[in-house]
Copies of this chain bind each other. A is one copy, B any other.
């Protein structure tokens, strides 16, 4: 059960040009920062990235966009990124926008071995174009297919050497669903512990879904919208 790799470089060693990657996180929260940095360093190109967002200009997937490593983004929301907009308008980048719940559920479907799911999201909109519509109990649903990703890259708070993962607060987001969905799943964690140190009842992603794990370094954990209270409610 040798899942531990030394660092992000080793974890992503065999990610090749043209592959499809899932990247966990929501906004800048819960991003696999170490693996993104390693991908930028490696310079892997023509990637299709499945990720709810595309980062900002100088953080998250934005760093990969800047290096022109991304051929296509599959996301639900891609604002807050000027370089993204430039590449999109110039035709350098392809974008497929899909509803956030559809994105999450298509990941889950992959992790749960379900080839397709039904959702009402997008019925009557351009999202439905070309898709099968099916009525159940008087309500229309779109059939959406499970994702097929070569790698899923997620970030957890703690993990053990067997790949069991625990996320912190809202950094769980897409990490927990994408962790199940990669043909190979890489997990980077803030703290890597020995088997038995995590309570079996508190594990969010069982190790069976994780193929490689390492303890990341130098997490910036940037805040996208720092909002604070001026006074007590």
Contacts and interface: CB of A to CB of B under 8 A. Distances in A.
A118 interface: yes
Interface stretch (A56-64, A166-174, A207-215, A225-233): A166-174
A119 interface: yes
Contacts of A114: 105, 117-119
A202 B202 contact: yes
A200 interface: yes
A65 B200 CA distance: 35
A26 interface: no
A222 to B, nearest CB: 21
Contacts of A147: none
A201 B202 contact: yes
A113 B200 CA distance: 28
A26 to B, nearest CB: 16
Interface string A136-154: 1101010001000000000
Contact of A136 (B115, B136, B167, B201): B115
Contact of A201 (B139, B141, B167): B167
Nearest to A202: B202
A133 interface: no
Contacts of A167: 201
A90 to B, nearest CB: 35
Nearest to A148: B137
24 contacts: A105-B112, A105-B114, A113-B119, A113-B120, A114-B117, A114-B118, A114-B119, A115-B118, A115-B136, A115-B137, A115-B139, A115-B141, A116-B118, A116-B136, A117-B117, A136-B145, A166-B201, A167-B201, A168-B201, A169-B200, A169-B201, A172-B201, A201-B202, A202-B202
